[in-house]
Structure 1
Amino acid sequence: MGLVSWIRKPFRTLLVVVFASVFLAGPVGSAWGQTPISAPASQQTAPADGNGEGAPKEPLLPLPKEKVTPVQTEKIDQAAQKIGANIDRISERASRRLGKWVDAKIAYGISWLKLMVCAGLLFGVVVFERLVRALLRRRLQRLEAAGEKDGWVYLTLETLHKPLTLFIWVYGVYAALSPLFGHFQSPDGTNLVHTVASRAADVGGTIVLIWVIYRLVAVVDVRLKQWASTTESTIDDMLVPLVGKTLRIFVAAVGAIMVLQTLTGIDVGPLIASLGIGGLALALAAKESVANFFGTLTILFDKPFQVGERILVDGYDGIVESVGFRSIRLRTLTGHLVTVPNEKVVNSPIENVGKRPHIRWLTNITITYDTPPEKVERAVEIIRTILENHEGMHPDFPPRVVFNGFNDWSLNIMVIAWYHPPDYWAYQAWLQKTCLAILKAFNEEGIEFAFPTRTLYLANDDRRQLKLRMLQGETS
C-alpha cells in the first residue's frame, strides 16, 4: 500500500490530463478520427504540385536553426513512430483472437491498446522519477551524516537533484505520449498537438540545461568561498561574491536568450547585434552605473581597504561590511548602515583606520600657575616614570613628556604615547589605569591640576593699590 500511495497521486494527475486532452478535443478531431498514423509534422511533406514535385510543409511555428537541448525530440519521434506502428500491428492481431474491442478506436483513431500502452509508459515514468529521487535523497542524507556536506560529491548531487527530476518529467512524458501524436495530424498535413508538445519539450529541456549550469555556479561559489577563507587577505572575501553574482547574471541572461530562441524559433543573433546602437544609448544613460562598476574594479585591484576594516570616507566613519557592483556598505559606529557609491569612494580621500599600526595618545596635562618650578619638574618626572615601559609600548615609539608652554590659565605638560597593537578597547583599559596612576601621584605630591579660570583684580585691594592721576586743567 505504501508504494501504491507513493506513486498514485502523480500518476492519477497525468491520466486525468491525458484523457481530458483526448476526449475534450473529440468534436474538433472528429474529421481526423480515422486519419492513419503518420510521421510527425516536422517530417511531413506537402502534396505534389502541378509539376509533381513535393515541397516541405511549413511548420506551424518557426523552428530554430540550432536547438541547444539535452535531448533532440526528433530522435524520440522516430522511436515513437516505430513503437506506434508495432502497437498497431499487435492490436490488429489481438483483435482477430480476442475480439474487435481490442482494436476499437476511442478518438482520433487511437485504439484502446495504444492508449493503455501509453498509460503504462506514463506509469513507468512516474515510478522511475520517484525511484531516482529517493536514491538521490538517501545518498545525500548519508553524505550529510558522514560530514561530507562540503565535498564535491554532495555538492554535485545536490545540484543535479531537482533538475534531474524535471528532466525525467519533461522527456519521460513526451516519450510516453509521442506514439499518440501522429493521430492528431490535420488533413492539410499540419499537427498542432505534436508541434506544441515538441516545442514544450525543447523549452523544458533548455530550462533544465540552464538550471543545471545555474546551480553549478553555486558549487563554484562555495568552493571559491572555501578557498578565500584560507587566505589572509579579505579582498578575496569581497571578490568571491562578485564573481558568483556575475556568473549568475550571465547564465540567466544566456538562458533567457536560449529559451526565447527555442520557444519562438527566431534567430536572436542578428537581433542582439542590432542592439549595438541601443546599447550605446543605454550606456550613456547609465554612465553613473558604469562609473560605479569601474569603481568596484578599482577597489578590488587597488585594495585601499578590506571587508571588516574601519574606514573614514565621504564624512562617514564605519566598518566595511560588503563591496558590491554599485556601492559599498558601511556599518557606522552608531549602528547605522550607510551605502556609499563606488564612484564616490574612489574619488574621495579614504582614511583606513583599520590599517593603523598603533593608537596614539596625545594629551595636555595642565597645572596651576602658582606651582613652583621644582614641582613642575617633579610632575614631568612622575608622568615619565608611569609611562616607562608601559603596556603596549613599541621600542621604536617611546613615550614623550615635556613641559612645553604657558597657557592663558595654566602651565602645560604635553604627553604623547603610542599603544601597540591598535586594539581600541585594550587601549582604553590601559588609558584608564594610566590616568588613575597620574591622578593619585599628583594628589600625593600636592600638585594641583588647572582648569579654565579668570582672575579679576579689584581697585585698591591690599596687593594692588589704586593710583589716580589728575589730568591738567581738571578740578576735583
Structure 2
Amino acid sequence: MTVTIPTAAPTAAAKAARAKTDAATSNPLADMRDWWDSSVAWVNSHWLEIGIAVALGLVIYVLLSMIRRIALRRAQAAPGEFTLTDIVGRVIHKTKSLVLAIIAVRLVAGYAQPPALFMQAIHFAFTVAVVLQAAIWAREIILGLIQRRAAEGHNETLSNAMGIIRLLISVALFAVAAIVILDNMGVNVTGLVAGLGIGGIAIGLAAQGIFSDLFASLSIIFDRPFRVGETIKYDTSTATVERIGLKSTRLRSINGELLVISNTNLLAKEITNYAHLHRRRVTFMIGVVYQTTPTMLRDLPALLEEQVNAAGHAFVRSSFVAFGPSSLDFELLFDVFSDDYDVVTAARTDVAIRLFEAMTAAGYSFAYPTQTTFTAAPDGRMILPYAESVTMKAPDPADG
C-alpha cells in the first residue's frame, strides 16, 4: 500500500528564495542557446509568413519614402520663406528614413507571428522612434511659426532670440518625450516628474525677474501692442519706440531723452499707441467777452463749423459750455483724418488762425483775465474814473 504524505504549500518567502536561487544558478549561455533554438524553430515553421511580411514591409517603406519625397518636392517648390507650405516642407524634411522603416516593420510584424521577445523589441523600437520623431516634428512646427511671426513683423529682437527659444523648446519637448518613453518601458516616472517639477520651480524662483522680462518681451513681440518706430504714451511720458529687447525696451522721448524700461514694468501700466489712430480729435476752448450780444453768441457755433469745413476737416460739435470768471466759454471739436502727429499739429494751427481771422472780422472780442475797479465817494457816489454804463447818483441838496 502506498501512503501519500500531504505537504504544505510553499510560502511566499519560500517562493522568493527559490526564484533567487534559480536566478543565481541561471546560465546566460544556456539562455542564449534557448533563444537561438526558439528563433530557428520559429523561422523553420513560419518562413512563408516571414517572407510575405518582409515583402510587405519593403513595399510599405517604399511607398512612405515616395510620399515623403513627393510632398517635400512640392513644399520646396512653393514660393516664399517661412510660409505655412515652407513649414510643412521643413517638417517633412526632418522625417527620418529609419522611422519609416520601423513603422513598416511594426505594421507587418503581427502577420509573421514572431516570438514574444521579438515582438517586445519591435514594440519598444517603434515607441522610441515615433515619440522622438513626434518631438522633432513639434519642434520644427513651433520654431517655424515663431520665425514666420518674426518675418512678418521684421522683428530683430525675435530673430536674435531664436537661439535661446530653440534651446528652451528643444529641452521641453525632448524631456516630455523621454518621460513618455520611460513610461512605456514600465518605469515609474512619478518621482521623475515630481523632481522635474520641483527643479523647474526652483529655477523659476531663482530667475524670476529674467523670465518675467523674457516672457513680457515675447508678449510684446507676438501681441504687438506697439512696434519699433511708433509713438506711444507710457505713464506720463510720450516717446517713440527705438528697440524692443529681451529684458528692456528703449524709448526716445519727445524731449530727446532715452528711456530704458523693463518689459515687465512697461506692460504693467496703460499704454496709449498713437500710431493706430486713423483720426485725431482736436479740442479748442474759445472765450469771448461778456459784452458780446446774444445774437452773436447764437451765430458763433455756425461760424466755427464753417471755418472747420473750409479747412477740410470733420466738424464734430460746437457749443456754449460755461460762464467763466471773465469770459463766455465755447467748446469746438473736430477730427483730422491722419495718423501723422505733424499733420495734426499743422491742421490745428491752420484752424486756429482761420478762427481768429473770421471772429475778428465778425466783431468778436476774445476774453482774457481782467479786473474792473470802481471808485466811490464816502457817501457812495461814483467818482471818476468809472464805467460809462454806471448811472451816477444825483447829489443831495442837504449835503451842501
Give the TM-score taking structure 2 as reference length: 0.47
Using CA pairs under 8 Å that are at least 6 residues apart, name the structure with larger relative contact order, 1 or 2.
1
Give the TM-score taking structure 1 as reference length: 0.40
